[in-house]
Structure formats: C-alpha cells, structure tokens
Amino acid sequence: MTSAEIDAATWNALAAEGISDTPFARHEYLAQWWSTGGGGEWTNAELALISASDAGHLIGLAPLFIADHEGQRSILLVGSIEISDYLDLIVRDKDHARFLAALLDCIAATAGLQGLPLDWYNVLDSSPTLPALKSEAERRGWSFEQEVYRPTRA
C-alpha cells in the first residue's frame, strides 16, 4: 500500500485506534495543514509520508516532511511547530515498536532522508514514541536529545 492509496477513512480509523488519538492526527487536519504549509510557516518543504502495511492492512503512518529548520534540513512531523498541540506517529500500541524500527530503517536507507535529524515537536510526554525512539537510537549508535519546553511566567 502506498501513501497515495490511503484514503481519509482508513487514515482516521487508524488514528482513532492509535497511541495518540487527538484531532491533530486526523487526515482532514493534517491535509489542510500541509496544503497551507502550516499557515505559511514552512517554505521549501517536501512531504515524506511513510506508511507500513501487513497483508494489505495499514499498520502505521508517519506523517513527515523535510524542511530547513534551525539552519539545517530536518525531518519534522506534519503539523509542526506552533499550530498543532499534540503530534505523534499514527500507529496502534501493539504495532508501535516494530513500526518505529521499520520507520528508522526506511529513513536510514532512503536517499534524501539519510543522516537528517528527526526534529519532532509536540509529542505527548505520555507517548510511547519518546522512550522507544531513545531506545532505538541507542541500539543503532545514533545520538538522541530530548528537550522539554514549558511555559514560564513573566
């Protein structure tokens, strides 16, 4: 199944069963966000939607894009940074670990994605993605940094 074959109903059904079922994971939201470049925030960006299926059943979606960010090309989650409150991979908990490993394999093997940093914002603290990403990075000998942004009082 290619990303182009994923219809909104299939996408939304997976999002509803996914690890972070929020309105920001829905097809309509992310498609609109992408069509406007995040409200004009992102220019020179390329969509990199990565999906995985097993026996014709959608396992996971990684709604990603590549853009210049903080002085370098980076891989970001569609919906980044300022507009969307909660972003994540779109995958069921039972498939999360294998989907994340396969996603990182795909990124490492794909020209144009190899070596680019994952610069992911607004992933829920409670998401299994953060500890799994750290574990996978360590297993692969990749660096991993996590910053927590908290509002402060003026």
| 80 within some domain | yes
Q: What are phi and psi of 115, to 5 degrees?
A: 80, -5
The whole-number pLDDT of residue 152 equals 57
pLDDT tens per residue across span 74-98: 999 999 987 888 999 999 999 999 9
Question: Cα 128 vs. chain centroid, distance in angstroms?
Answer: 13
Split into its structural domains, the chain has a count of: 1
Q: Is residue 153 part of a domain?
A: no
Report yes or no on 87 lying in a domain: yes
| Ramachandran sector of residue 112 (left: φ over 0; alpha: ψ -120 to 50; beta: rest) | left
Which residues lie closer than 8 Å to 149 by C-beta, 6 or more apart? none
- Give the global pTM: 0.90
Give the domain CATH number at 49: 3.40.630
What pLDDT does 43 receive? Answer: 82
Q: Is residue 134 part of a domain?
A: yes
Domain assignment present for 147: no
pLDDT for residue 1 is more than 50: no
What digits encode the pLDDT tens for the residues 57-67? 999 999 999 99
Domain-embedded: residue 146: no
Residue 151 lies in a domain: no
Q: Is the dihedral of CA 7, 12, 18, 22 positive or negative?
A: positive
Residue 12: which domain range? Answer: 3-140
